Amino acid sequence: MSDDVVARTKARVNVVTVLERLGARFPWQTSDAWDDETSFYCPFCDDLASHKAAGRANELKGLWHCFSCGSGGDIFNAVRQARAVPFDEALQWVLDQFPEEVEEFDPWAEESTT
Protein backbone atom coordinates (compact mmCIF):
# COMPACT_ATOMS: atom_id res chain seq x y z
CA MET A 1 0.00 0.00 0.00
CA SER A 2 1.48 3.31 -0.99
CA ASP A 3 2.08 6.05 1.53
CA ASP A 4 0.13 8.41 -0.71
CA VAL A 5 -3.06 6.31 -0.44
CA VAL A 6 -2.72 6.23 3.33
CA ALA A 7 -2.08 9.99 3.53
CA ARG A 8 -5.03 10.82 1.27
CA THR A 9 -7.33 8.54 3.26
CA LYS A 10 -6.24 10.14 6.54
CA ALA A 11 -6.77 13.60 5.08
CA ARG A 12 -10.33 12.83 3.92
CA VAL A 13 -11.72 10.78 6.81
CA ASN A 14 -12.52 12.68 10.01
CA VAL A 15 -11.01 11.30 13.21
CA VAL A 16 -14.11 12.20 15.25
CA THR A 17 -16.35 10.31 12.84
CA VAL A 18 -14.12 7.22 13.05
CA LEU A 19 -14.06 7.33 16.85
CA GLU A 20 -17.85 7.69 16.96
CA ARG A 21 -18.23 4.70 14.65
CA LEU A 22 -15.98 2.74 17.02
CA GLY A 23 -18.11 3.61 20.07
CA ALA A 24 -16.65 6.81 21.48
CA ARG A 25 -19.19 9.18 22.97
CA PHE A 26 -18.81 12.92 22.49
CA PRO A 27 -20.61 14.86 25.23
CA TRP A 28 -19.77 18.23 23.64
CA GLN A 29 -19.29 19.26 20.03
CA THR A 30 -16.27 21.42 20.84
CA SER A 31 -14.25 22.14 23.93
CA ASP A 32 -13.54 25.83 24.53
CA ALA A 33 -10.62 24.96 26.75
CA TRP A 34 -8.92 22.94 24.03
CA ASP A 35 -9.68 25.13 20.97
CA ASP A 36 -9.50 22.72 18.02
CA GLU A 37 -9.98 19.65 20.19
CA THR A 38 -13.15 17.79 21.10
CA SER A 39 -13.57 15.87 24.35
CA PHE A 40 -14.85 12.30 24.25
CA TYR A 41 -15.38 9.27 26.44
CA CYS A 42 -12.75 6.76 25.39
CA PRO A 43 -14.15 3.49 24.01
CA PHE A 44 -11.00 1.67 25.15
CA CYS A 45 -11.12 2.36 28.89
CA ASP A 46 -13.63 3.04 31.66
CA ASP A 47 -13.50 6.84 31.75
CA LEU A 48 -17.29 6.86 31.26
CA ALA A 49 -17.62 5.23 34.69
CA SER A 50 -15.73 8.15 36.23
CA HIS A 51 -18.05 10.65 34.47
CA LYS A 52 -14.97 12.37 33.11
CA ALA A 53 -14.31 12.58 29.37
CA ALA A 54 -10.59 11.83 29.28
CA GLY A 55 -10.17 11.68 25.51
CA ARG A 56 -9.32 14.53 23.15
CA ALA A 57 -9.64 14.45 19.37
CA ASN A 58 -8.07 17.09 17.16
CA GLU A 59 -9.88 17.19 13.82
CA LEU A 60 -7.35 19.50 12.18
CA LYS A 61 -4.43 17.18 12.96
CA GLY A 62 -6.46 13.97 12.63
CA LEU A 63 -5.19 12.72 15.98
CA TRP A 64 -6.72 11.55 19.24
CA HIS A 65 -5.47 10.74 22.72
CA CYS A 66 -6.98 9.38 25.94
CA PHE A 67 -5.37 10.81 29.05
CA SER A 68 -6.85 8.03 31.16
CA CYS A 69 -5.56 4.88 29.41
CA GLY A 70 -2.85 6.44 27.22
CA SER A 71 -4.28 5.21 23.92
CA GLY A 72 -4.00 7.50 20.93
CA GLY A 73 -2.88 8.09 17.39
CA ASP A 74 -4.57 8.53 14.05
CA ILE A 75 -7.67 6.94 12.53
CA PHE A 76 -5.80 3.72 11.77
CA ASN A 77 -4.53 3.35 15.35
CA ALA A 78 -8.11 3.65 16.59
CA VAL A 79 -9.37 0.96 14.22
CA ARG A 80 -6.44 -1.34 14.92
CA GLN A 81 -7.03 -1.11 18.66
CA ALA A 82 -10.82 -1.40 18.52
CA ARG A 83 -10.93 -4.31 16.07
CA ALA A 84 -7.59 -5.98 16.94
CA VAL A 85 -6.50 -6.07 13.29
CA PRO A 86 -3.26 -5.31 11.43
CA PHE A 87 -2.78 -2.05 9.54
CA ASP A 88 -3.92 -3.30 6.12
CA GLU A 89 -7.22 -4.53 7.58
CA ALA A 90 -7.68 -1.25 9.43
CA LEU A 91 -7.17 0.65 6.17
CA GLN A 92 -9.70 -1.58 4.40
CA TRP A 93 -12.20 -1.07 7.23
CA VAL A 94 -11.88 2.72 6.90
CA LEU A 95 -12.32 2.53 3.12
CA ASP A 96 -15.38 0.29 3.53
CA GLN A 97 -16.97 2.36 6.30
CA PHE A 98 -16.44 5.77 4.70
CA PRO A 99 -16.83 5.32 0.93
CA GLU A 100 -18.27 8.81 0.46
CA GLU A 101 -15.08 10.40 1.85
CA VAL A 102 -12.78 8.40 -0.43
CA GLU A 103 -14.90 8.13 -3.56
CA GLU A 104 -13.03 11.00 -5.21
CA PHE A 105 -10.06 8.72 -5.72
CA ASP A 106 -9.66 5.01 -6.25
CA PRO A 107 -7.16 3.94 -3.57
CA TRP A 108 -6.50 0.64 -5.33
CA ALA A 109 -5.99 2.04 -8.83
CA GLU A 110 -2.35 2.94 -8.29
CA GLU A 111 -1.67 -0.42 -6.67
CA SER A 112 -2.46 -2.21 -9.94
CA THR A 113 0.00 -0.01 -11.87
CA THR A 114 2.98 -0.62 -9.59
Query: pLDDT tens digit string along 37-90?
Result: 888 888 888 766 666 778 899 999 999 999 888 999 999 999 999 999 999 999
Higher-scoring residue by pLDDT: 78, 109: 78
Mention every residue, 6+ apart, whose C-beta is less than 8 A from residue 100.
none
For residues 82-104, average pLDDT: 90
Average pLDDT, the chain: 83
Looking at residue 100, its pLDDT comes to 83
What is the distance between the alpha carbons of residues 106 and 21, in angstroms, rounded to a whole number? 23
Residues in the chain: 114
The structural domains of the chain, ordered by start, are 3-113 (3.90.580.10)
What confidence category does residue 19 fall into, taking pLDDT thresholds of 50, 70 and 90? very high
Q: Are 79 and 20 in contact (CB under 8 A)?
A: no
